[in-house]
Structure 1
Amino acid sequence: MSNSLPARRFTGWHMTAILVAFFAVVIAVNMLMATVAVRSFGGTVVENSYVASQRFNSWLAAARTQEQLRWKDDVATDHARHVVLTLGDDAGAPVRYRTVKALAQHPLGRAADIAIAFRETAPGRYVSEAALPPGRWRLRLDIRHAGSEKHLLREID
């Protein structure tokens, strides 16, 4: 009985080449994944997680205080890309004479943060003094007046 197919024999050199190629692919994929992960993460959420955990209850109390204000807000951009914030109370009356500041952050951290100042142009309507560049932005708004304050986080295009 003879086998009509020739026997293939892998030599030590062939096995070494296969192992090197396998690990080269694994290393290349890991390097690609690590590069994508580092470039797409915009920064740390908190500098020190232990300190943040100690402040958690005070943050909850501040959030409850903000909710008791019952302000309604609307954030948008106008045709010139100025940020427009409209504030109203629970009954729909405009919330006036507030100091409004914001920090515009690119969601992926690919552009520098932009500090934004606002002026009240109509009762309860606040317009940024500077225009935002095109694109999607995350706004961290700080609204203060006479001891009351509210912090908002909004995304706009």
Structure 2
Amino acid sequence: MKQQARSFTGWHMTAILVSFFAVVIAVNVLMATFAVRSFGGTVVENSYVASQKFNGWLAQARAQEKLGWRDEVTLDTARHVRMTLNVHGARMSAVAQHPLGRSPDIALHLHEAEPGLYVSDRALPAGRWQVRFDIRHDGGEEHVLREVD
């Protein structure tokens, strides 16, 4: 007795192709969603100009490291920025920026609540923020970028 071979009909092939492309589209949408929600990088106006300044930024970072300042940045329960710094009596200001520019920048002024602990005058809204600190002490200057959420 001969066995009859089953063949795919046009309907089966269409279902397979539609299923394949549905999976590809679903994976692309999922990956794009993860990328947008988790991107913590900095967006620059002109990447060529930024690349030309890179060596200067490295030299500035080396000079800052020689100061020996160590910091730790956190948020308190009310979402005020807190920086613990191994330097007392520093003058400090900061700007909180949303990583993708979805919210306007927030200027922060930090005061020394106790020796080495600096607290912002304003609370940050919920979400991830990049905080750029400008710290001055005894003629030394440091610029620090930290992420908080």
* TM-score normalised by the chain length of structure 2: 0.70
Question: What does the per-residue CA deviation read over 1:98-153, in whole Å, with 9 as the maximum and x for residues that have no partner?
Answer: 2x122335668776653321123444442211234466654322113575321223
Q: Residue 53 of structure 2 aligns to a residue in which SS?
A: helix
Deviates more, 1:134-143 or 1:55-64: 134-143
Q: Which residue of 2 aligns with 1:12?
A: 10
Distance 1:15 1:62 in 2: 62
Q: Which residue of 2 aligns with 1:114?
A: 106
The percent identity for this pair of structures is 67
Counterpart check, 1:102 vs 2:94:
yes
In the alignment, structure 2 segments of 5+ residues that lack a partner are none
Q: Residue 46 of structure 1 aligns to a residue in which SS?
A: coil
Q: Which residue of 2 aligns with 1:47?
A: 45
RMSD (Å), alpha carbons: 3.3
Offset, 1:44: 4.4
Distance 1:30 1:78 in 2: 37
Distance 2:45 2:24 in 1: 33
Distance 1:8 1:117 in 2: 76
* TM-score normalised by the chain length of structure 1: 0.67
Counterpart check, 1:152 vs 2:136:
no
Distance 1:77 1:39 in 2: 21
The structure that has the greater radius of gyration is 1
Q: Which residue of 1 aligns with 2:57?
A: 59
In the alignment, structure 1 segments of 5+ residues that lack a partner are none
